[in-house]
Amino acid sequence: MPKKKYPSPVTLRLTEDERTQLEKDADGSSLSAHIRWCVLKKGGARKNTPLKDRKALAQVLGLLGKTRIANNLNQIAYEANCGSLLMDEETEKEIKLACAHIAWMRVKLIEALGLREAREK
C-alpha cells in the first residue's frame, strides 16, 4: 500500500500571549484549523464558531427553563385558535411579559453571537 503523502508543514513562531489569544479564538477547533481558516478564509463556515459571550447564552437558557415561555405561548396559541381565549387584564399582562422576555432573549442572543441588527449595518 503506498504511503500517504502530506503537504509540507508551515512553521509559525508566536509569543505566549499570541498563542493564548489564538487558542481562545479557536474555541474548540484545532489550532491548525483555526489558523488555516484565519489565513485563507475559505472552506465554508468554521465548525466551532467562537461565541462572544457564553454568560449571555447561559442567562437565556436559564430564563427559558425558569419561565416555561415556549409552553405557555403554545397554550395561548391553542386557546386563541379554538376561540376560547379570554382576554382580561391579567391575560394581557402575561402575554406582554412573555413578549418582553422573548425580546430580551433576542437581544442577549445577538450579543452572545456577536451579531448586529440589520439597521445598524
pLDDT in tens, the chain (121 residues): 677 777 888 888 999 999 999 888 887 778 888 888 888 876 554 555 556 677 777 788 778 778 777 788 888 888 888 888 878 888 888 888 888 888 888 888 777 766 665 444 4
Identify whether residues 29 and 85 lie together within a single domain: no
Q: Quick one: pLDDT at residue 51?
A: 62
**Is there a single domain that holds both residue 60 and residue 102?**
yes
Q: What's residue 50's pLDDT?
A: 57
Same-domain pairing of 61 and 109: yes
Neighbour tally for 105: CB within 10 Å? 19
Query: Helix, strand, or coil here: 41?
Result: coil
**What is the domain extent for residue 88?**
54-120
Q: Which residue type does 110 have?
A: I
Spatial distance between the Cα atoms of 17 and 99, rounded to a whole number of angstroms? 44
Cβ 59 vs Cβ 105: under 8 Å: no
Instruction: Specify whether the CB–CB gap between 112 and 51 falls below 8 A.
Output: yes
